[in-house]
Amino acid sequence: MKTHIPYVKPSSTDIELGYVRDAVENGWGKKCYDYIHRFENAFKNYLGVKYAMTTSSCTGSIHIGLAALGIGPGDEVILADTNWIATAAPIVYLGASPVFVDILPDTWCLDPDLVKAAITPRTKAIIAVHLYGNLCEMSTLLEIGEQYGVPIVEDAAEAIGSVYHGKRAGSIGAFGSFSFHGTKTITTGEGGMFVTNNKDLFDKACILNNHGRNPTQVKQFWPDLIGFKYRLSNMQAAFGCGQMDRIDELTKRKREILNFYKKALNDEPDITLNPELTGTINGAWMPNVVFKKNMGVSRAMLQEAFKAENIDARVFFYPLSELPMFDRPNPNSMATSISQRAINLPSFHEITLEEQSRVVKVLKSLIPAR
């Protein structure tokens, strides 16, 4: 059997392990938050934002952020239909309703025209998800948000390293959320980050993430409201500090992997990969290929072809509106179509040229001879 190729795995060195060892041995008592604060400072400096708060997941970060915006029962939040459930779930947690709109054919991200058409008096936020490192049309979305008085939120879980016209993904909207799941470009095993430039919003988020306890409250262990506890541990943050020491190396490597696939498939006009539009840099978390409709290549065919070669390949996200908990009568055609003829490609940092060539060979085998 051919050597197995996983689709993704973390990259760690003695730098991360050294920090974690120190956190285990010394990070207690008065030092129990030292690596958390260090990680937050490194991250906000990298993004160029004023405030950052670690969370246990990106899902938790979105939940806290939406709650801090005051979103609740009866409200609506617009987002792209092509997403992982983690973006929609916090909306439901708060008693609000997700409104799914279709995606653009080139970036696979939120279609601004459809966003505008979906706005109602109940719309209280728009979530721009930078899918697979691709970037939403933030300028247009911000204009829409300003016109209707609706905040634009960035789900940048998959977009560390992506840059939109000089600004890093996650630093542009009312707040940004990141994921440090084990599959991501930088990881803490599980974890997330809430970032913003809005002090009032940040203060509300911090209170919510500390069981509703206000730092100005003089009574010890006295919460002023029902909050959450989406906290990251000091040991996880220590690992994150090591990852931030290597952030440029890690994001550069991701782009090298995507660019190899692009170059190797450049002569195949019936395949498209993650775009990089003018004025943007794609952080290239997860390379994807989308086959043209007329090729007759399906999700099932792609999965079977890679499985036969002992290569892991993830399916493109199913439209959320197709899930049983979201019964939507009118399917979004682009989200549905692309998910049926696309696949995520292996992109772990240590993948070799030989392994990438094996991936490319599988893709080319599915293209009919001209």
**pLDDT at position 212 over 60:** yes
Q: Does the pLDDT value for residue 202 go beyond 80?
A: yes
Residue type at position 57: S
pLDDT at 370: 55
Q: What is the mean pLDDT of residues 256-269?
A: 96
CB-based contacts of 325, cutoff 8 Å, min separation 6: none
Handedness of CA 37, 282, 314, 320 (dihedral sign): positive
Check pLDDT > 80 for residue 365.
yes
What Cα–Cα distance (Å) separates residue 362 from each residue in 143, 294, 305, 307, 327?
43, 19, 7, 10, 36
Asked if residue 2 has pLDDT above 70, the reply is yes
Cα–Cα separations (whole angstroms), residue 185 to 30, 40, 103, 276 = 31, 17, 24, 18
Q: Quote the pLDDT of residue 18.
A: 98
Q: Retrieve residue 206's tokens.
A: 């911090």
**Position 357 pLDDT exceeds 80:** yes
- For 329-334, what is the mean pLDDT? 81
Tell me the backbone φ, ψ of residue 24, rounded to 5 degrees: -70, -40
Sorted by sequence, the CB contacts under 8 Å of residue 312 that are 6+ apart come out as 4, 5, 6, 7, 306, 346
pLDDT bucket at 223, cuts 50 / 70 / 90: very high
Per-residue pLDDT at 32 exceeds 90: yes
367 pLDDT more than 90: no
| pLDDT score, position 329 | 65
pLDDT, residue 38, reads 98
Does 163 have pLDDT greater than 90?
Answer: yes
Kindly state the percentage of the chain with pLDDT values over 90: 95
- Residues in the chain, total: 370
Q: How confident is the model at residue 331 (pLDDT cuts 50, 70, 90)?
A: confident
Calculate mean pLDDT across residues 182-201: 98
As given in the structure block, the two tokens for residue 312 are 């892991």
Q: In the predicted model, what is the mean pLDDT of residues 342-359? A: 98
Kindly report, residue by residue over 269-313, the tens digit of the pLDDT.
999 999 999 999 999 999 999 999 999 999 999 999 999 999 999
Q: In terms of Cα–Cα distance, which of 77, 66, 71 is closest to 125?
A: 77
Domains of the chain in sequence order: 14-101+109-245 (3.40.640.10), 247-365 (3.90.1150.10)
Is pLDDT at 328 greater than 80 in this prediction? Answer: no
For residue 75, pLDDT beyond 60:
yes
| Mean of pLDDT over the chain | 96
* Rounded distance between C-alpha atoms, residue 4 and residue 33, angstroms: 40
What percent of the chain clears pLDDT 70, i.e. is strictly above it?
Answer: 99
pLDDT number for residue 369: 58
The tokens describing 143, both together, are 């204009």
Question: What average pLDDT does this structure show over 230-256?
Answer: 98
Q: With a cut of 80, say whether residue 122 has pLDDT above it.
A: yes
